Amino acid sequence: MHDFNDRVAVVTGAASGMGRAFAERFAREGMRVVLADIEEDALEATVQQFKQQEFRAIGVVTDVAKAESVEALAQRTIDEYGAVHIVCNNAGVAAGGARPDGQPVPLWEQPLSDWEWTLNVNLWGVVHGIRTFMPIMIDQDDEGHIVNTASTAGLTTGPGLAIYGVTKHSVVRMTEALYYQLEALDSKLKVSVLCPGGVRTRIAASGRNRHDELLEGDARPSADEVDERTQSWAERIGESGMDPEEVADRVFDAVRDEQLYILTHDSVDEGIRERMENILARRNPEPRPFGDVAGGAACG
């Protein structure tokens, strides 16, 4: 995309962290922004702060895990601004995969609700975003861009944060397919997949947005304990994490430069290479400590 002024960007997960930084970056380019998030109070506060900065912004409470909620977001966007040019499918959560005492939980013991919650938001959220917004954007026959937030955990491998990694690998694959399909159609729409390493956000406190229905059964921990289970991850991000604003600059550059892969942390290259070399050599990976997240690089 080359013209940003007056155009419309929709960002999910915009009440916090990276989503908020993306929306602000687009607003600074003169775009009208639609902030979507499940966390109502944080969303309202963010919209107020945007308005104080004289950005043109609306907030739409949205649960990306639900198709009808994402459809309502699109409808509200069109009703308010008449078009949509950038969509960031960014909302995401992480269920820890470790017990409150830090001991890792193997995949076969992780509650079904961890699977459902993480897949519903991180994977189905992107699916709903694509199925809802792409037909609208294609009909507009104008330039446009979709940015799907994956993670370095979608490029690397390891024993830790496995459910999260499953969703992020899926988002990478989905975005690559979109890239090929849009190129084959010579479309004006472009796509990017964002694969950040550790970024200083509230991701390790994802449990704050977990629905009650996904806390039932499985004799599973409370939302607070879920947060504790991601604590060591949070500490690692805190030590080496990037500021969301820096990621937002890279996302903006990638949209302008029509760049598919957006990687933020060079330290992850080794993990990507190692995985690919093992696959190409038909070689088993070296064992790693159980709790290791995607090769030990600061990774989200």
Ligand X SMILES: NC(=O)c1ccc[n+]([C@@H]2O[C@H](COP(=O)([O-])OP(=O)(O)OC[C@H]3O[C@@H](n4cnc5c(N)ncnc54)[C@H](O)[C@@H]3O)[C@@H](O)[C@H]2O)c1
Catalytically annotated residues: 164
- Specify whether the CB–CB gap between 115 and 37 falls below 8 A: no
Residue with smaller CB distance to ligand X, 143 or 237: 237
24 counts as binding ligand X under rule CB under 6 A: no
Site stretch for ligand X (CB under 6 A), options 51-59, 108-116, 197-205, 254-262? 197-205
Among 295, 93, 267, 107, residue whose Cα is nearest residue 197: 267
If one asks whether residue 148 binds ligand X (CB under 6 A), the answer comes out as no
Total residues binding ligand X (CB under 6 A):
31
Beta carbon nearer to ligand X, 39 or 228: 39
- Does 114 sit near ligand X (CB under 6 A)? no
91: nearest Cα among 119, 66, 126: 126
Does the protein bind ligand X through residue 12 (CB under 6 A)? yes
Determine, following the binding rule CB under 6 A, whether residue 165 of this chain makes contact with ligand X. no
Alpha-carbon distance 29 to 189, whole Å? 19
Q: What is the DSSP string of 222-252?
A: PHHHHHHHTHHHHHHHHHHPBPHHHHHHHHH
Instruction: Rule CB under 6 A: choose which of 64, 84, 178, 255 binds ligand X.
Output: 64
Q: What Rg value do the Cα atoms of the chain yield, rounded?
A: 19
Q: Measured over all CA atoms, what is the biggest interatomic distance in the chain, rounded to whole angstroms?
A: 57
Residue closest to 64 by CA, chosen among 130, 142, 16, 159: 130
DSSP string, 63-74: -TTSHHHHHHHH
Is 17 an interacting residue with respect to ligand X (CB under 6 A)? yes
Question: 34: Cβ–Cβ under 8 A, 6 or more apart, which residues?
Answer: 8, 9, 10, 11, 57, 58, 59, 60, 73, 76, 77, 80, 81, 84
**Does residue number 294 form part of the binding site for ligand X (CB under 6 A)?**
no
Q: How far is the CB of 202 from ligand X (least distance, A)?
A: 4
Told to check if 199 binds ligand X by CB under 6 A, we report yes
Residues 211-250: x/- map of binding to ligand X (CB under 6 A)?
Answer: --------------------------x-------------
Among 188, 202, 220, 288, binds ligand X (CB under 6 A): 202
- For residues 253 and 194, the answer to whether their CB atoms sit within 8 Å is no
Selected range binding ligand X among 11-19, 175-183, 224-232, 267-275, rule: CB under 6 A? 11-19
Smallest gap from residue 89 Cβ to ligand X (A):
8
Q: Which is nearer to ligand X, 13 or 160 (CB)?
A: 13
Which one among 110, 118, 132, 151 touches ligand X, defined by CB under 6 A?
151
Distance CA 92, CA 300 (A): 11
Q: Are strands 86-89 and 8-12 parallel, antiparallel or unpaired?
A: parallel
The residue ranges that bind ligand X (CB under 6 A) are 12-13, 15-19, 37-39, 62-65, 90-93, 121, 149, 151, 196, 198-199, 201-203, 206, 209, 237, 300
